[in-house]
Amino acid sequence: MIKTVDILKVKYNEITVGRLVLNRKNLAVFEYDIDWLNSGFSISPIHLPLTAESFIAKQNPFNGLFGVFNDSLPDGWGNLLLDRLLKEKGINPLELSVLDRLSIVGKNGMGALSYEPESMKLDSNVDFNLDFFAAETMKILQSQDSEAIETLYKNNGSSGGARPKVLIKHENEEWMVKFRSSFDPENIGEIEYNCSLAAKRVGIEMPETKLFKDKYFGVKLFDRNENNRIHVHTASGLLYADHRLPSLDYNDLLKLTRYITGDLTEVEKMFRLMIFNIYIGNKDDHAKNFSFIYKNNKWNLSPAYDLTPNFGFNGNHSTTILGKGNPDDKDIVELGKRHGFEKKNISSLIEDIRSVVRT
């Protein structure tokens, strides 16, 4: 059985950041540790400034949890695995609090944050056959029994997203490998791999990518730095934006990038990524598909990820451009001008990206 958690310690690469508890309304309450206040940084600049006070989370959209800690929780596929695993162990997933779920994540979440006490010991470095586990993931998606569910969960790493995925060691480095979902085309791995190559060709920062066995898309984890992990915070968690519904405009993301990084070069990176998403038809560009990393004492836009063409929300982009779900070049130019980009440079960038995507 999993022991209920009353107080959860939050750590950053083994250094105590602060503590989480739930109040009587089941809202998370967070306080920074005194030593972290003296030598650390704000782990969530908008909602958790580096001050000595008790912060109380909102009920929505993260079920009473702060956005930065919600980023640590699994989503979609990870939740499906966890709930199936808990039920097999006789545990009702609905009875777990958000602190209980963070305790299950423990040291196995994405990014640098970890949680103690850890209620489920996990080993994410097991070698296995990709073809076998691709077949097992499809069984689970089709509600069939799978003897591999515990191993799949151990190697999921609490990663977000709806598509099945596992963490593996490749050439002594940590990678994530994705499998197709029930709704994906057979060659989804090749599609995402080709999109990653196109993104690199137009100057978008991407992690190293690889097509394993000519069909499984793999990406080297960018939240690892030798023996330490890098703090990652999604736009969803930063802005309390629900990623399950359209909740952002690219105007918001450009403003957020300027505010968080204070660097116009990073704003240009976000603008370039926006145009690329438009021209590859990546309409699943929701709030969790944009992240920022804290590295070398500053925030930057993270490398891009989850770049594939898809239908989106009722055929519209999840993140709009000036309120439009299917924007055109005029909308891109208008938004760019509002953020200080010259029209001729915007038009040149559009043409560069369009020419690469068409090839």
- Provide the CATH number for the domain around residue 138: 3.30.200.120
Percentages (nearest 5) of helix, strand, coil residues in the chain = 35, 20, 45
Same domain for 90 and 194, yes or no, is no
Same domain for 231 and 220, yes or no, is no
Could you tell me if residue 264 is inside a domain?
Answer: yes
Phi then psi for residue 237, to 5 deg, are: -70, -35
pLDDT for 185-223, tens place per residue? 999 999 999 999 999 999 999 999 999 999 999 999 999
Same domain for 211 and 235, yes or no, is no
Could you tell me if residue 125 is inside a domain?
Answer: no
Q: Which of 186, 203, 224 is the last residue of a domain?
A: 224
Same domain for 75 and 55, yes or no, is yes
Could you tell me if residue 2 is inside a domain?
Answer: no
Same domain for 232 and 110, yes or no, is no
Same domain for 22 and 92, yes or no, is yes
pLDDT value, residue 124 = 43
d(CA 143, CA 152): 15
d(CA 169, CA 343): 45
pLDDT for 106-134, tens place per residue? 998 889 999 999 887 654 445 568 998 89
Six-digit token pair at 180? Answer: 């197709």
DSSP for 279-339, please give it: HHTB----GGG-EEEEETTEEEEPPP-----B--BTTB-SEEBTTBSS--HHHHHHHHHHT
Six-digit token pair at 299? Answer: 């925030």
Q: Decide if 11 contacts 115 (C-beta within 8 A).
A: yes
Same domain for 179 and 236, yes or no, is no
Could you tell me if residue 140 is inside a domain?
Answer: yes
Same domain for 272 and 233, yes or no, is yes
Host domain of residue 35? 7-115
pLDDT value, residue 109 = 87
Same domain for 288 and 347, yes or no, is yes
CA distances, 286 to each of 5, 244, 247, 318 (Å)? 31, 8, 8, 5
Model's pTM, two decimal places?
0.93
Q: How many domains does the chain have?
A: 3
Same domain for 254 and 140, yes or no, is no
Same domain for 275 and 215, yes or no, is no
Q: Which of 115, 144, 163 is the last residue of a domain?
A: 115
Q: Which of 224, 255, 275 is the last residue of a domain?
A: 224
Average pLDDT, the chain: 92
Residues of the chain with pLDDT > 90, as a percent, come to 71
Could you tell me if residue 340 is inside a domain?
Answer: yes
Closest CA to 242 of 288, 283, 284: 288
Instruction: Write down the residue that tokens 């039920």 correspond to.
Output: 87
Same domain for 272 and 351, yes or no, is yes
Instruction: For residue 5, give the 3-state DSSP assignment.
Output: coil
Could you tell me if residue 124 is inside a domain?
Answer: no
Contacts of 353 (CB under 8 A, 6+ apart): 202, 272, 275, 276, 279
